[in-house]
Structure 1
Amino acid sequence: MKHVLILLLGVHLSYATRHSLQYFSTAVSGDSSIAEYTEVGLLDGCEFMYFDSNIMKAVPKTEWIRQNEGADYWDRVTQRLINNHQVDKNNIQVAKERFNQTGGVHTIQRMYGCEWDDDTGATDGFFQDGYDGEDFLSLDLKEMRWISPVQQGVITTQKWNNDKAMLEHYKQYFTTECVDWLKKYLEYEKRIHEKPVSPEVSIIHKDSSSPVSCHATGFYPCKVTITWLKNDQEHHEDVDLGELVPNEDGTYQRTSKLRVTPDEMKNNKFSCVVEHQGKIVTADEIRTNNGDSVPVGIIVGVVAAVVLLLVAGIVGFKVYQKKKGFKPVNSSDNGSNSSSSQTAA
């Protein structure tokens, strides 16, 4: 019979101090199979807003933003992102001319936002643009000047660096307005969850021909790591990590599936390690002796006990994606926290 062994490997005491508000956008030309423009907003690495040019609508992705912002807010965000889409379409054409390109698939990518340390009060901002996966343009907030690593971007940096009003505008946005929205969103989030919530973990193996699933759900904040071990060594082959999915109560869920043959299950020990907020739980999957479906129940008791030891700690954020498109963004006076496009390169 299948059973699960839970082991506490350690609890790391760490306190959440550094928070981030990030926006990622991608504009594409020459590929009709995907949306021409997408943008996502993330708070401490967790997606809370999504837009693409197919649905032409900004939508909430978390309960805390859904409960605290109404239709007017989303209408304003939608109009801003529709404008961004149009500006980036023009920017791709400008870039193609500068790089002497005609056809083909081309992309503009952008990452911008701010950080705030709630312990020291320190803040920082960032803005990075890329074209076809390579760095194109970025804002040096300390020196308050635009820089480019490629010759094709120099004409843009010269133009923007000579616009002192524009530079002051960006300084105000990244040092003040963005941080204000970050703090506001953190307050929204606290109304849903005052403290971190530990995940409930389950291992499910339907039959010998099915993948083994390690499912973590009900956790908050969204950062969780799911790792498979084979004979106590990290195992990355034949592993499929599912998307992070929000639950209706503001928590999250995620599943990792391991494809393994009956012989591998028989001759090896596979374990699932789930880490959340410094707490590590190991679930040992004991192989079945027959092909019947034997679901392993949700691990509630141990997790509930562990939660008493849990101390808040934001693990940090992973900057995934190369960098963003190559037009600037404006600070928002329309009720959304993200800035909007001002001019083409």
Structure 2
Amino acid sequence: MNYFGLLFLFPVAYSAKHYLRYFLTATYGVPGFPEFVGAATVDEVQVGYCDSNIKTAKPKQDWMRKLIEGDPKHLEWYSQKCLGSQHVFRANIDGLKQRLNLTKGPHILQRMNGCEWDDETGEIKGFNQYGYNGEDFLALDLKTLTWTAPKSQAVLTKLLWDAEKARLEHNKNYYIYKCPELLKNYVHQGRSFLQRRESPSVSLLQKMSSSVVSCHATGFYPDRAEMFWRKDGEEIHEGVEKGEILLNNDWTFQMSVELNISSVQPDGWRRYDCVFQLSGVRDDIIITLDKSVIHTNWDPPEIPVVPVAGGVGGFLLILVVVIILWMKKSNGFQLADGEG
């Protein structure tokens, strides 16, 4: 999720790592949900989407559309991968149901795979990991070219997949050569979009006079940001609860950090302030704890907060329902194309 391009214009330090990730989800017995959903992201930005209903791949960013206009075979390649992965995933679900002696649904098979490229060191890493019904199932070790099974239910599938030597070699070649080649091209084509920096609107919010005070930032980009409370200029942790960074429907981000003020004396409020820091931006945004600037439920102001819109829009609007728990449990599994 890192960007470059204006490095020669602005003396700021950007992280050198970039990611191409693919999210694939196949379902069985889930009413109202496509049997197959696939999406591609570059540095956490959705660039493509397909599902079993539309039966084709669609670009999701203007720069990706322009890239495809110059190379229509690129879109055709993704559409074929989408259709092919749909059939493979359905066969995998059928095989898993049989091996695990499962009859009743629903069943959800997920894959997160892709590659990471460090544009400073040139280091390449590949990822290919599966989840089944919300649990970690298999992960490919590219060094040994074997699958690892975190649970006993996956051992039989591991043994079967370990025996598919041609498939394993295909995976290895994809993650070492094809995936990084795609990623480098995408970063180059989309750098003006990916490298942008957008500062947030920051507000102090409180439900009731006795409630915690939430420092809320929304509309920032990228998601490499820090937010904390401090007292007398020193960061504090006691009585502070930090929320997760969430994606808005316009592909900016929001986050909050709460301060318990129950033990703060009225004359000591101004000793506290909230600090927001965005990677690549020199100046912090600082708001001092002051009753006069707090927005409350009993006197609702016009707050320029961008709604999350069901979570994340596009493919995430769909995928978040079935993969978010698995992704959190998997410590941010990182993913590549429909290989594996």
TM-score, normalisation: structure 1 = 0.65
* Structure 2 partner of 1:168: 169
Structure 1 residue aligned with 2:287: 283
Q: Is residue 203–residue 297 contact of structure 1 (8 Å, CA) maintained in 2?
A: no
Alignment partner, residue 73 of structure 1 = 74
Matches within 5 A, 1:104-183: 104-183=105-184
Quote the residue 2:6 is aligned against: none
Q: Which SS does the other structure have where 2:252 is aligned? A: strand
Q: 1:88: Cα distance to partner?
A: 1.5
* Count of paired positions: 288
State which drifts further: 67-76 or 22-31: 67-76
Alignment partner, residue 90 of structure 1: 91
How far is the alpha carbon of 1:16 from its aligned partner?
A: 1.9
Aligned to 1:35: 34
What letter is aligned with 1:320? Answer: M
Q: Are the counterparts in 2 of residues 242 and 255 from structure 1 also a CA contact under 8 Å?
A: yes
Q: Which amino acid aligns with 1:216?
A: T
1:227-306 pair list within 5 angstroms: 227=227, 229=229, 235-236=240-241, 242-246=246-250, 252-256=251-255, 273-277=275-279, 279=281, 280-284=284-288, 286-288=290-292, 294-295=301-302
TM-score (norm 2): 0.66
CA deviations on 1:50-88 (whole Å, 9 max, x unpaired) are: 333344443333343233223653344233213322322
- Provide the identity percentage: 27
Residue in structure 1 matched with residue 101 of structure 2 by the alignment: 100
Higher helix share: 2
Aligned residues of 1:206 and 1:293 also touching (Cα < 8 A): no
Higher RCO, Cα 8 Å, sep 6+: 1
Q: Could you tell me how far apart the structure 1 residues matched to 2:153 and 2:140 are?
A: 16
AA partner of residue 29 (structure 1):
Y
Classify 1:165/1:57 alpha carbon distance in 2 versus 1 (closer, same or farther; 3 Å): closer
* Structure 1 residue ranges without an equivalent (≥5): 1-11, 247-251, 299-318, 324-328, 330-336
> What is the match of residue 219 of structure 2?
217
State the Cα deviation string for residues 125-145 of structure 1 (Å, max 9, x = none): 121112223332222111222
1:24–1:109: 8 Å Cα contact kept in structure 2? yes
Q: CA RMSD in A?
A: 4.3
Residue 181 of structure 1: CA displacement? 0.8
Asked whether the 8 Å contact 2:148–2:158 carries over to 1, the reply is: yes
Structure 2 segments unaligned to the other structure (5+ residues): 1-10, 306-325
SS of the residue aligned with 1:69?
helix
User: Which position in structure 2 is the counterpart of 1:309?
Assistant: none
Equivalent residue for 2:19? 20
Q: 1:320 pairs with 314, 317, 327, which one? A: 327
The residue type paired with residue 45 of structure 1 is E
Aligned-partner Cα distance in 2 for 1:91–1:218: 40
Cα distance change on mapping 1:292 and 1:111 into 2, 3 Å: closer
Q: Is the 8 A contact 2:205 2:216 kept in 1?
A: no
Change (3 A) 1:272 1:78: farther
**Paired residue for 1:61?**
60
Amino acid at match of 2:199: P
In the alignment, the residues of structure 2 paired with residue 87 and residue 236 of structure 1 have an alpha-carbon distance, to the nearest angstrom, of 44
